[in-house]
Every structure is written in C-alpha cells, then in structure tokens.
C-alpha cells in the first residue's frame, strides 16, 4: 500500500513529480551501485583465491628449482673430479704405451739375435740394444707405483703372450719363448 504524503498547501504538483522522478533515479542508481559492488566483491574473492593458488605454485617451483640447482652443482663437481681422473688415467696409458713399445723393440732385437744364433751364425753376443733397455727402465721408473712392474725376461726366447700383442709369455713349465705343439701318443 502506498502512503499518501501530506503536502503543505500550495505545494506545486510539478515539483512533486520532479522530486519523485529524482528519487526513483537515485534508487535505480543505488541498486545499480549495489550490483556493481557485489560483482566487484565476487571478483575480488576470485582473485584472492587465484593469488593464493599462484603463491603455492611459486613456492613449489622455487623448491624444485633449488633442488635442481643443488643437483646441478653436485654433478658439476663430480664431472670436474672425473675429468681429473681421466687426465691421470690418460697419462698412465701413455706411459704404459711407451713402456710397451720399448719392450717390444727389445723383444724384437732379442728374437733377431736368437734367430741369428739358431741359424748357425757365429756372431758374438754383444748387447746391441742398451739404449732400448734404458728406455724400458725409464718407462718403468715413470710408471712408479701406479701399476704392476714389467720385468724383462732373462731368457732370449721371449715371445708375445696370446692375450696381448707385444707382451711376454711364459709357458706352464716356466720356460719363456714360443710354444711348440705337442702331440700325444698312446
């Protein structure tokens, strides 16, 4: 029910209509403002939730990054250690190759002398390769305590081991030299 307003006598109706119209505009503006405020409040709540979610993700990614960075640093240190170890092993390989070449050269000289002697050559047994023996000794000294020492055989019949070309072999009877095929007779 609408209440009738009591108006003073002589109040113009046009002014009343104007005031009523302005009051309705004010109410419409107020309701629209209320709707906008409600919408804004809802958007603020959504953004707050989104911000909290993003903060959690940021924390998670930061911890992942820190653990990955730590692992990367550890791997870099390990790689440095492996590189140093590799360099040391390459130096050892070079020393062993030098020693092997010196021993092969001495073995070849000794094999040649044995062939000369077995062919009936009466050449005097002179030591024609002291420089090669010195090379082998130097290479052995360079190797130091880094590996097993290789001793030159005292027998002039030294031969290659089947497993390693250039290495000296000793047969089960304790003799060095080429192994003769044996035949079993019953």
CA distance to 42, 58, 63, 66, 114, per residue, from 53 (Å): 17, 9, 16, 20, 88
pLDDT band of 17, cuts 50, 70, 90: confident
Rounded CA gap, 66 and 68, in Å? 5
User: Is residue 184 in some structural domain?
Assistant: no
Q: What is the pLDDT of residues 4-13, one digit of tens each?
A: 556 565 667 7
- Scan for tokens 């629209």, then name that residue: 32
Rounded CA gap, 104 and 167, in Å? 7
**pLDDT recorded at residue 157:** 45
User: Is residue 8 in some structural domain?
Assistant: no
Q: What is the DSSP letter of 23?
A: H
Burial class (CB in 10 A: 0-12, 13-18, 19+), 136: buried
Phi, psi of 176 (to 5 degrees): -100, 155
- Scan for tokens 């309705």, then name that residue: 24
User: Is residue 57 in some structural domain?
Assistant: yes
Q: What is the number of structural domains in the chain?
A: 1
Assess whether pLDDT exceeds 90 at residue 109: yes
Nearest Cα neighbor of 99 from 130, 135, 134, 131 is 135
Q: What is the DSSP letter of 173?
A: T
> What's the chain's average pLDDT?
77
Nearest Cα neighbor of 166 from 108, 92, 90 is 108
Assess whether pLDDT exceeds 80 at residue 173: no
User: Is residue 108 in some structural domain?
Assistant: yes
**Percentage of the chain modeled with pLDDT above 70:** 59
Nearest Cα neighbor of 133 from 103, 161, 100, 108 is 103
Q: What is the pLDDT of residues 40-75, one digit of tens each?
A: 999 999 999 999 999 999 999 999 999 999 999 999
Residue 136 and residue 152 in contact, taking contact as beta carbons nearer than 8 Å: yes
User: Is residue 22 in some structural domain?
Assistant: yes
User: Is residue 167 in some structural domain?
Assistant: no
User: Is residue 137 in some structural domain?
Assistant: yes
Domain that holds residue 78: 17-119+128-144
User: Is residue 100 in some structural domain?
Assistant: yes
Q: Which two tokens stand for residue 164?
A: 């390693």
């Amino acid at each position: 029910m609408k209440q009738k307003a009591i108006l003073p006598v002589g109040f113009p109706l046009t002014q009343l209509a104007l005031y009523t119209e302005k009051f309705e505009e004010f109410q419409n503006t107020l309701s629209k403002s209320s709707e906008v405020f409600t919408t804004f409040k809802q958007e603020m709540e959504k953004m707050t939730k989104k911000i909290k979610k993003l903060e959690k993700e940021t924390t998670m990614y930061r911890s992942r990054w820190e653990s990955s960075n730590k692992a990367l640093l550890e791997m870099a240190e390990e790689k440095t250690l492996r590189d140093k170890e590799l360099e040391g092993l390459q130096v050892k390989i070079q020393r062993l190759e030098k020693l092997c070449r010196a021993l092969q050269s001495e073995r070849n000289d000794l094999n040649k002398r044995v062939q000369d002697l077995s062919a009936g050559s009466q050449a005097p047994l002179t030591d024609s390769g002291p420089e090669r023996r010195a090379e082998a000794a130097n290479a052995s000294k360079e190797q130091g305590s880094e590996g097993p020492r290789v001793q030159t055989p005292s027998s002039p019949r030294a031969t290659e081991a089947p497993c390693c070309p250039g290495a000296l072999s000793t047969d089960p009877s304790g003799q060095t030299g080429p192994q003769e095929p044996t035949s079993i007779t019953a």
